[in-house]
Amino acid sequence: MTDTDPRFSRILHDHDEIENAAKRIGAQIDHDYAGKTPILVVVLKGAVMWAGDLFKNISIDVEMDFIDIASYHGGIKSTNAITLRTDLTSDVRGHDIILVEDIVDTGLSLQYLISLLTDRGAKSVKTATMLNKQQGHKVAVKADYIGFEISNEFVAGYGLDYQEIWRNLPFIGVVNPEVYS
């Protein structure tokens, strides 16, 4: 990460800040789910790096599963159409679910996932997101655990892609508009 990286107009959060957010939320989950065994559902692909940090900071017994949906088909704008690419392997009926997301932007992905899991009989569905872009919301959804509130700009890094690249970067930055203009 450098201040002169032309790919980004500014850096929002570095690895240490994200780890601290994971510690804070992990402790909240330990407290809120004491005596329960929730299934942590990682929403692929973007949430992978955040999930790795968060899971290390959860001490209660949990199960893990993965679901892959797509709404941003490689670009910077949501298509509004959600595709289920890879389904869970667990039966969620009667289980407490914590969705692990990298970002809630329009909220359409989260709305889709909550109704999918609720329709399948999940006992409860909550969400732990690394980023929340409140000004981007198009539907009334609310994440229960939020790492950081961010402004209404396109970001990448730490799992989030720009045209499928930059997911591996150890920080979150605002993509320089010159990159995609």
Ligand X SMILES: O=P(O)(O)OC[C@H]1O[C@H](OP(=O)(O)OP(=O)(O)O)[C@H](O)[C@@H]1O
The entry of ligand X, ligand GUN, none that residue 108 binds, CB within 5 to 8 Å by partner kind: ligand X
Can you give the length of the chain in residues?
A: 181
Instruction: Let me know if 105 is a catalytic residue.
Output: yes
CA angle 46, 50, 56 (to 5 degrees): 145
Q: In the beta sheet, which residues pair with residue 43?
A: 67
**What is the greatest pairwise CA distance in the chain?**
51
Position 114 contacts ligand GUN (CB under 6 A):
no
Q: Exactly one of 29, 103, 117, 172 binds ligand GUN (CB under 6 A); which one?
A: 103
Separation of alpha carbons 102 and 128, rounded Å? 8
Residue 12 or 58: the one with the smaller Cβ distance to ligand GUN is 12
Work out how close the CB of 134 gets to ligand GUN at its nearest, in angstroms, rounded to a whole number: 12
Residue 59 or 115: the one with the smaller Cβ distance to ligand X is 115
Work out how close the CB of 15 gets to ligand X at its nearest, in angstroms, rounded to a whole number: 19
- CA gyration radius for the chain? 16
**For 163, which DSSP code?**
T
The entry of ligand GUN, ligand X, none that residue 157 binds, CB within 5 to 8 Å by partner kind: none
Residues labelled catalytic: 105
